[in-house]
Amino acid sequence: MSGMRTALASIGVFGLVGVGYGMWAIISPGEDRKREMLKNLPEANPVRMEETRKRNALVLQALKDAAETNENIARGYGGQK
């Protein structure tokens, strides 16, 4: 009886894995759709990428400046008391 239960459980697990894989295969986009999605990403636009690089450089510079100082710069931008 235990062997039959193990066999049925194994068949059930393999069945569920098969159903999951089948659903994934149906839902996943094809190669044409993948290429179209990659073309529409913001990183595909050179102007947008340059803006992102500049913004990242400014953020990193601000973090570097904050790391080099002992002041709490978060309080410095509000109203001075």
Q: Give residue limits of the domains in the chain.
A: 3-69
Range with the largest mean pLDDT of 21-25, 40-44, 77-81 = 21-25
pLDDT in tens, 66-76: 888 887 766 66
pTM of the model: 0.44
**Residue 39 is inside which H or E element, if any?**
helix 31-39
pLDDT given for residue 19 in this prediction: 95
- What is the overall mean pLDDT for the chain? 85
- Asked whether 40 and 46 are in contact (CB, 8 A), the reply is no
3 state DSSP class of 45: coil
